[in-house]
């Protein structure tokens, strides 16, 4: 810990961008302007001049990945992870700009496309005035000669539940695009969308920020969209959908008695109070009449169900905006390139895990689950076959997967009860101590950053929204040349239902993890510093290093240090050398010697050599040529993996290997073999950090 903290402090004092801990790049100063350093690193040939460059710079890190792609013809993935407000989005933009800098036109396209997508998923929070609320992936494609050929974006799990869930009086905004449009547009244009009639907006709880230039943000959005599409009407379509969402949020419902004289027919019905708002919505949607849309909203029998349908429709409309922009951006970036014939470097910006002390909703659960899943991949790639003890997160992943299965089953039920739903989760939590139901209706899950509380009553309505009924009736009522059919000709009802309740995001998450596992993996971790503080605060930095496994990576350097081989993969911090040397001990067959008595104490005192030999063979059957069954340490009760249970090389564990000459490996050689490692860890040959790999010789003490 002291070594890692000292290295980070030195890097910040030198105003450096990042530092290396083995194969992981730590970003410690993500606010730096890196545009001036493009030329310095872009055309680097790794000759003698490479020693003058910062070995732990982000651009040199990316250049090594690019050279591996050209030499090995394999695709690579760079995962940018960290807590929220740690600078992942700016680092994501720097990676894209550097990898596409060889083609100025493509770099401009990517810059404008990224601005459009960030306008849709970014918002102002208490911690960050420009916080991204979705996971974004950018695939940069190269041909066999290493030339840039195209790119495309993928978006995972935009936080749609944020639109209706924010209550008035909170210090957080909704998505920035709403404020660009509402406070940056002229009153004349707003009157065209019939927004001047609304003084308060249900979905915009926080007033505009006086320090933000919304007019400039709107201008930049229009220019970027026109640069991507070349169509001036594209912005009009987006703003029409935003106006519809704002109008939908203003719908008010009431329960009124029927005017029927018969007592049997006299029942209370849900009605819309402000019918003029409904007329504005149908006009913007280009619907023939308000009947079909009104019927879709009022399909429930209570005011609460009508509000749920209203909020569901608002989330669907915003998902249309996100889908529309991604489609336009990818059409401009991809061109005629076939991704199946190309190699790519995939930059993945994973939404930071939600660590709020408030009770979180269903969207935050899926975001945290995605972080746990990718953290599991990180552990399996870098730590599982190493000789260090670390805390596994498999228990939390297993609990999250079972919760996802339960949510999918709950979503298929035509009707359900909240108490039964909580009882099922209570039973599930009793089988896994990583989760427990507290205060009757809250689920507390033990994530790698600590316990996080979720509000189960807010999950339940999202699982039973009548999304399919709304979409079916809406499509049936839409004109053939209406607003939705012009840009979204086909609507998949099943995907939209899942998009709202979360199962669709779960499928996208699994797609992300599978694609990530099929490539060579690299990791960048962004450290979050206190705002306005230039030095490291141990109370802030150290928990982040521990929760992400950085301390364990630094510990591995004690087993892989070889000072005479230059820059090599040894998990050594730049400028530091391990002072600890490993002891060597030749593994030999035990005999009745004094060394055996020292090793096993007085256990064999007074016994004959034959009895000692029999006792040793009984305790270690491998010495007689038969191997004992391999045990795994995946126990929920024992989350710390003992060193004796981590090795995957049976020859080192049970045999007596023959000494071989010491082998050294360069950074590029070892990082390539390390990152290509998949999840199949049972085979010793697939273990990049086995004793043979990390020690250099086979006669070193394990």
Looking only at the bridges linking them, the beta strands covering 18-21 and 24-27 are antiparallel
Please give the CATH topology (third level) of the domain spanning 169-245+314-342+357-503: Methane Monooxygenase Hydroxylase; Chain G, domain 1 (1.20.58)
Rg of the chain (C-alpha set): 29
Q: Indicate the pLDDT class of residue 505, thresholds 50, 70 and 90.
A: low
Non-local (6+) Cβ contacts of 119 within 8 A are 176, 177, 180, 217, 221
**What is the crossing angle of helices 303-334 and 104-121, to 10°?**
180
Rounded to whole angstroms, the Cα distance separating 448 from 678 reads 22
Assign residue 85 a region (left: φ > 0; alpha: ψ between -120 and 50; beta: otherwise).
Answer: left
Report the pLDDT value the prediction gives residue 88, as an integer from 0 to 100.
87
Q: Indicate the pLDDT class of residue 617, thresholds 50, 70 and 90.
A: low
- Which H or E run includes 238? helix 233-249
For the cut 90, the answer to whether the pLDDT of residue 509 exceeds it is: no
Which tokens sit at 331?
A: 């059409």
Portion of the chain with pLDDT greater than 70, in percent = 63
DSSP string for residues in 162-204? HHHHPPTT-S--SBHHHHHHHHHS-HHHHHHTT-TT-S--TT-
Rounded to whole angstroms, the Cα distance separating 150 from 336 reads 9
Q: Indicate the pLDDT class of residue 677, thresholds 50, 70 and 90.
A: very low
Looking only at the bridges linking them, the beta strands covering 268-272 and 343-349 are unpaired
Report the pLDDT value the prediction gives residue 111, as an integer from 0 to 100.
93
Report the pLDDT value the prediction gives residue 682, as an integer from 0 to 100.
34
Say which residue, 195 or 30, is predicted with more confidence.
Answer: 195
Report the pLDDT value the prediction gives residue 415, as an integer from 0 to 100.
66
DSSP 602: G
Q: Do residues 509 and 370 touch, judged by C-beta distance below 8 A?
A: yes
| CB neighbour burial string for 563-583, b if at least 16 within 10 angstroms, e if fewer | eeeeebbbbbbeeeebeeeee
For the cut 60, the answer to whether the pLDDT of residue 686 exceeds it is: no
Report the pLDDT value the prediction gives residue 556, as an integer from 0 to 100.
74
Report the pLDDT value the prediction gives residue 569, as an integer from 0 to 100.
33
Q: What is the mean pLDDT of residues 545-564?
A: 67
State the residue for tokens 């998990």.
571
Q: Pick from 469, 361, 368: which is nearest to 414 by CA?
A: 469
Which tokens sit at 293?
A: 């849309």
Between 114-118, 537-541, 585-589, the lowest mean confidence (pLDDT) is in 585-589
Highest mean pLDDT among 34-43, 263-272, 447-456, 540-549: 447-456
User: How many Cα atoms sit within 13 Å of 267 on the Cβ side?
Assistant: 6
Question: For residue range 477-504, what is the model confidence (pLDDT) as tens digits?
Answer: 665 557 777 776 655 544 544 444 445 5
Say which residue, 613 or 215, is predicted with more confidence.
Answer: 215
Say which residue, 308 or 129, is predicted with more confidence.
Answer: 308
Which tokens sit at 658?
A: 């023959």
Between 149-153, 391-395, 451-455, the lowest mean confidence (pLDDT) is in 391-395
Question: For residue range 353-391, what is the model confidence (pLDDT) as tens digits?
Answer: 776 667 777 778 888 888 888 888 888 777 776 666 777
- Name the 3-class secondary structure at 8: helix
**What is the crossing angle of helices 176-184 and 104-121, to 10°?**
90
- Sign of torsion over alpha carbons 263, 264, 268, 272: negative
In a 10 Å sphere around its CB, with 0-12 CB exposed, 13-18 middle and 19+ buried, how is residue 144 labelled? exposed
Q: Indicate the pLDDT class of residue 14, thresholds 50, 70 and 90.
A: confident
DSSP 561: -
For the cut 50, the answer to whether the pLDDT of residue 698 exceeds it is: no
Which tokens sit at 572?
A: 């050594």
Strand partners, 279: none
Show the CA angle centred on residue 372, arms to residues 366 and 374, nearest 5°.
Answer: 105
Q: Indicate the pLDDT class of residue 260, thresholds 50, 70 and 90.
A: low
Question: For residue range 60-119, what is the model confidence (pLDDT) as tens digits?
Answer: 888 889 988 988 888 999 999 888 778 888 889 989 988 888 888 888 999 999 999 999
Q: What is the mean pLDDT of residues 439-454?
A: 85
For the cut 50, the answer to whether the pLDDT of residue 166 exceeds it is: yes
| CB neighbour burial string for 371-405, b if at least 16 within 10 angstroms, e if fewer | bbbbbbbbbbbbbbbbbbebebbbbbbbbbebbbe
Q: Write down the mean pLDDT value for the chain.
A: 71
Report the pLDDT value the prediction gives residue 236, as an integer from 0 to 100.
93
Q: Do residues 174 and 203 touch, judged by C-beta distance below 8 A?
A: yes
Length of the chain: 702
Q: Indicate the pLDDT class of residue 622, thresholds 50, 70 and 90.
A: very low
Report the pLDDT value the prediction gives residue 401, as an integer from 0 to 100.
85
For the cut 90, the answer to whether the pLDDT of residue 691 exceeds it is: no
Say which residue, 267 or 218, is predicted with more confidence.
Answer: 218
Report the pLDDT value the prediction gives residue 206, as an integer from 0 to 100.
64
Between 69-78, 146-155, 690-699, the lowest mean confidence (pLDDT) is in 690-699
List Cα–Cα distances, 188 to 182, 184, 194, 277, 363, in angstroms. 12, 12, 10, 19, 37
Portion of the chain with pLDDT greater than 90, in percent = 12
Report the pLDDT value the prediction gives residue 244, as an integer from 0 to 100.
92
Report the pLDDT value the prediction gives residue 4, as an integer from 0 to 100.
82
Which tokens sit at 218?
A: 């709107």
Report the pLDDT value the prediction gives residue 503, as an integer from 0 to 100.
54
Rounded to whole angstroms, the Cα distance separating 382 from 687 reads 10
Between 207-216, 304-313, 318-327, 400-409, the lowest mean confidence (pLDDT) is in 207-216
Question: For residue range 267-278, what is the model confidence (pLDDT) as tens digits?
Answer: 778 888 888 899
Which tokens sit at 81?
A: 């992870």
Report the pLDDT value the prediction gives residue 539, as an integer from 0 to 100.
74
- Name the 3-class secondary structure at 672: helix
Q: Do residues 384 and 646 touch, judged by C-beta distance below 8 A?
A: yes
Report the pLDDT value the prediction gives residue 45, as an integer from 0 to 100.
57
**Hey, which bits of 65-147 come out as E strands?**
76-82, 122-123, 131-132, 135-142
Report the pLDDT value the prediction gives residue 270, as an integer from 0 to 100.
86
Q: What is the mean pLDDT of residues 443-447?
A: 88
Say which residue, 690 or 259, is predicted with more confidence.
Answer: 259
Non-local (6+) Cβ contacts of 71 within 8 A are none
Rounded to whole angstroms, the Cα distance separating 119 from 134 reads 11
Q: Indicate the pLDDT class of residue 151, thresholds 50, 70 and 90.
A: very high
Rounded to whole angstroms, the Cα distance separating 93 from 100 reads 11
Report the pLDDT value the prediction gives residue 693, as an integer from 0 to 100.
30
Report the pLDDT value the prediction gives residue 261, as an integer from 0 to 100.
60
Q: Pick from 80, 67, 75, 68: which is nearest to 25 by CA?
A: 80
**What is the crossing angle of helices 550-560 and 538-548, to 10°?**
70
Q: Do residues 160 and 203 touch, judged by C-beta distance below 8 A?
A: no
Q: What is the mean pLDDT of residues 551-563?
A: 64
End-to-end CA distance of the chain: 23
- In the chain, domain spans: 1-56+527-577, 169-245+314-342+357-503, 582-587+620-695
Q: What is the mean pLDDT of residues 624-649?
A: 37
Say which residue, 524 or 450, is predicted with more confidence.
Answer: 524
DSSP string for residues in 274-305? -HHHHHHHHHHHTBS-SHHHHHHHT-SSSHHH
Report the pLDDT value the prediction gives residue 246, as an integer from 0 to 100.
92
Q: Pick from 64, 90, 681: which is nearest to 376 by CA?
A: 681
Rounded to whole angstroms, the Cα distance separating 293 from 272 reads 12
Strand partners, 257: 268
Say which residue, 507 or 450, is predicted with more confidence.
Answer: 450
For the cut 90, the answer to whether the pLDDT of residue 352 exceeds it is: no
Q: What is the mean pLDDT of residues 182-188?
A: 89
Say which residue, 225 or 102, is predicted with more confidence.
Answer: 225
Looking only at the bridges linking them, the beta strands covering 122-123 and 18-21 are unpaired
Report the pLDDT value the prediction gives residue 153, as an integer from 0 to 100.
93
Report the pLDDT value the prediction gives residue 646, as an integer from 0 to 100.
32
CA dihedral in degrees (478, 483, 486, 489; nearest 10)?
-50
Rounded to whole angstroms, the Cα distance separating 129 from 214 reads 13
Looking only at the bridges linking them, the beta strands covering 18-21 and 442-447 are unpaired
Rounded to whole angstroms, the Cα distance separating 465 from 460 reads 9
DSSP string for residues in 514-541? HHHHTSEEEEEEEPPPPTT--S--HHHH
DSSP string for residues in 299-330? -SSSHHHHHHHHHHHHHHHHHHHHHHHHHHHH
Between 107-111, 261-265, 342-346, 619-623, the lowest mean confidence (pLDDT) is in 619-623
Which tokens sit at 443?
A: 């689920």
State the residue for tokens 């919505």.
281
């Amino acid at each position: 810990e002291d070594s890692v903290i000292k290295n980070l402090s030195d890097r910040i004092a030198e105003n450096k961008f990042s530092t290396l801990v083995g194969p992981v790049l730590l970003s410690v100063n993500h606010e730096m302007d890196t545009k001036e350093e493009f030329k310095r690193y872009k055309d680097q040939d790794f000759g003698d001049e490479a020693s003058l460059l910062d070995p732990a710079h982000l651009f040199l890190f990316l250049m090594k990945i690019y050279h591996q792609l050209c030499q090995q013809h394999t695709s690579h993935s760079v995962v940018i992870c960290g807590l929220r407000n740690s600078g992942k989005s700016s680092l994501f933009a720097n990676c894209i700009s550097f990898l596409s800098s060889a083609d100025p036109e493509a770099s401009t396209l990517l810059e404008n496309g990224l601005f459009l997508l960030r306008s849709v998923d970014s918002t102002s929070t208490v911690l960050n005035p420009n916080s991204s609320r979705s996971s974004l992936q950018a695939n940069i494609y190269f041909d066999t000669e290493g030339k840039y050929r195209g790119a495309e974006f993928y978006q995972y799990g935009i936080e749609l539940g944020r639109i209706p869930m924010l209550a008035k009086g909170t210090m957080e905004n909704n998505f920035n695009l709403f404020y660009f449009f509402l406070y940056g547009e002229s009153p004349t244009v707003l009157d065209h969308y019939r927004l001047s009639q609304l003084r308060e907006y249900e979905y915009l709880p926080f007033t505009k920020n006086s320090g933000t230039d919304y007019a400039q943000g709107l201008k930049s959005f229009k220019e970027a969209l026109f640069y991507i599409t070349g169509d001036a009407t594209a912005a009009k379509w987006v703003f029409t959908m935003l106006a519809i969402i704002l109008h939908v949020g203003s719908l008010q419902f009431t329960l009124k008695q029927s005017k029927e004289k018969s007592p049997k027919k006299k029942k209370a019905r849900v009605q819309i109070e402000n019918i003029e708002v409904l007329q504005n919505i149908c006009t913007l949607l280009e619907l023939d009449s308000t009947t079909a849309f009104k019927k879709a909203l009022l399909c429930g029998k209570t005011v609460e169900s009508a509000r749920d349908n209203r909020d569901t429709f608002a989330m669907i409309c915003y998902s249309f905006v996100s889908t529309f922009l991604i489609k336009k951006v990818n059409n401009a970036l991809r061109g005629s390139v076939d991704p199946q014939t190309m190699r790519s470097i995939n930059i993945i910006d994973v939404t930071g895990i939600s660590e709020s002390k408030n009770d979180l909703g269903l969207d935050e659960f899926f975001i945290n689950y995605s972080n746990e899943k990718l953290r599991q991949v990180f552990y399996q790639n870098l730590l599982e076959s190493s000789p260090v003890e670390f805390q596994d997160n498999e228990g939390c992943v297993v609990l999250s997967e079972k919760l996802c299965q339960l949510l999918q089953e709950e979503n298929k039920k035509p009707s359900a009860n909240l108490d039964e739903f909580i009882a099922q989760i209570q039973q599930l939590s009793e089988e896994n101590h990583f989760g427990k139901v507290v205060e009757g209706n809250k689920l507390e899950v033990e994530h790698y950053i600590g316990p996080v509380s979720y509000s189960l009553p807010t999950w339940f309505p999202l699982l039973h929204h009548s999304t399919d009924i709304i979409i079916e009736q809406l499509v049936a009522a839409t004109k053939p040349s209406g607003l939705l059919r012009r840009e979204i000709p086909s609507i998949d009802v099943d995907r939209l239902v899942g998009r709202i309740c979360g199962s669709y995001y779960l499928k996208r998450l699994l797609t992300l993890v599978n694609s990530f596992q099929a490539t060579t993996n690299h990791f960048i971790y962004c450290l979050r510093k206190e705002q306005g503080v230039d030095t490291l605060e141990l109370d802030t930095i150290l928990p982040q290093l521990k929760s992400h496994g950085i301390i364990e990576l630094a510990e591995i350097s004690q087993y892989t240090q070889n000072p005479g081989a230059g820059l090599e993969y040894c998990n050594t911090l730049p400028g530091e050398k391990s002072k600890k040397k490993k002891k060597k001990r030749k593994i030999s067959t035990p005999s009745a010697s004094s060394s055996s008595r020292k090793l096993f104490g007085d256990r064999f005192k007074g016994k004959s050599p034959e009895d000692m030999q029999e006792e040793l063979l009984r305790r270690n059957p491998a010495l007689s040529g038969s191997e004992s069954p391999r045990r795994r340490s995946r126990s929920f009760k024992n989350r710390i993996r003992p060193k004796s249970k981590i090795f995957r090389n049976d020859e080192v564990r049970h045999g007596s290997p023959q000494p071989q000459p010491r082998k050294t490996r360069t950074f590029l050689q070892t990082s390539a073999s390390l990152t290509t490692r998949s999840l199949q860890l049972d085979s010793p040959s697939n273990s990049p950090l086995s004793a043979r790999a990390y020690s250099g010789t086979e006669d070193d003490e394990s």
